[in-house]
């Protein structure tokens, strides 16, 4: 995996698909627990809506949602029209959790949803897998009705540095969990996140083409000093990035660190094992790296059962 960024990205996709749920970075929905080390009781998932088509859901919405506060419309492929349909309904005003992941919303659907005047009670929003792009991300970031969000999943949405930068400066001043996994946000996006004003406690960046230099910026960020979960699977972090994280004095609150599939060898493993930091770490995930027996032994000695290798 150390043969270059192209190979790293390809292998990353395979490894992430295999160990997504096993790694602390796995956050498949807004109702999932935040990381493998979470000690909180798992919140029950919102009941999935049974509508099989947009027309069926439109009829149901017209009849009223009956005071439902959590709505799960995941993976129905209802298309861009779902955005304005939800946005214009007064019944969504009581929603605290909304999952519209994998619905082919696109930029138009996302912009329509973000423009709703009825979503101010929303605290959890899952928009993953909708190909909304940078324009959709900008609309979500600056939506007045979404200012109360605490958890936002934007994974797999063709978002680049511009969209990530907008989200890093989002109006949601209480946002504590942000998932940008499987978006090519690169160094520009990571740099913006490293200087965010958001009180982030969980940051998921699996397969985001981050690289070692951007990880160094994360490691030195004073804006992320509340971070408890940092997921960086499949980013070409390498030994250089691992060493930067090991030296970080600003990520001292981390409880979960996910570095799966990053081309880390014994050099990076030893740096992590010998770090004077990580005092609160409960889970460190290093699946799919190139760590030998020496590095593995050092990690095992330092982290014991907290190590997933």
- The whole-angstrom separation of Cα 21 and Cα 105 is 25
Upper half-sphere CA count for residue 39 (Cβ side, 13 Å): 6
Upper half-sphere CA count for residue 124 (Cβ side, 13 Å): 20
CB atoms within 10 A of CB 10: 12
The model's pTM: 0.88
Residues of the chain with pLDDT below 70 are 1-47
Extract the tokens encoding 151: 């958890």
Domains of the chain: 5-308 (3.80.10.10)
Strand partners, 283: 256
The predicted pLDDT at position 47 comes to 64
The predicted pLDDT at position 5 comes to 35
The predicted pLDDT at position 46 comes to 61
Q: pLDDT tens digits, residue range 133-152?
A: 999 999 999 999 999 999 99
- The whole-angstrom separation of Cα 187 and Cα 208 is 9
- The whole-angstrom separation of Cα 150 and Cα 131 is 22
Q: pLDDT tens digits, residue range 219-257?
A: 999 999 999 999 999 999 999 999 999 999 999 999 999
């Amino acid at each position: 995996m150390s043969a270059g960024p192209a190979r790293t990205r390809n292998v990353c996709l395979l490894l992430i698909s295999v160990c997504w749920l096993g790694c602390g970075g796995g956050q498949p929905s807004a109702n999932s627990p935040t990381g493998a080390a979470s000690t909180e009781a798992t919140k029950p998932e919102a009941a999935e809506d049974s509508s099989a088509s947009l027309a069926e859901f439109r009829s149901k919405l017209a009849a009223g949602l009956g005071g439902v506060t959590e709505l799960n419309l995941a993976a129905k492929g209802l298309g861009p029209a779902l955005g304005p349909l939800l946005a214009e309904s007064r019944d969504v005003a009581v929603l605290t959790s909304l999952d519209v992941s994998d619905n082919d919303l696109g930029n138009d659907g996302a912009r329509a949803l973000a423009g709703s005047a009825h979503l101010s009670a929303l605290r959890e929003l899952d928009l993953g897998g909708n190909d909304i792009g940078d324009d959709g991300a900008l609309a979500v970031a600056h939506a007045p009705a979404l200012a109360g969000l605490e958890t936002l999943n934007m994974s797999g949405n063709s978002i680049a540095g511009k969209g990530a930068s907008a989200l890093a400066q989002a109006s949601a001043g209480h946002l504590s969990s942000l998932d940008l996994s499987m978006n090519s946000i690169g160094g520009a996006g990571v740099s913006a996140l490293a200087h965010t004003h958001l009180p982030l406690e969980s940051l998921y960046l699996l397969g985001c083409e981050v690289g070692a230099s951007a990880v160094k910026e994360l490691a030195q960020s004073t804006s992320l000093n509340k971070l408890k979960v940092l997921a960086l699977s499949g980013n070409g972090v390498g030994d250089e990035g691992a060493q930067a994280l090991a030296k970080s004095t600003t990520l001292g609150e981390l409880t979960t660190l996910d570095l799966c599939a990053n081309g880390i060898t014994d050099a990076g493993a030893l740096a992590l094992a010998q770090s004077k930091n990580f005092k609160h770490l409960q889970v460190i995930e290093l699946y799919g790296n190139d760590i030998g027996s020496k590095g593995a032994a050092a990690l095992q000695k330092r982290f014991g059962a907290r190590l997933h290798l």
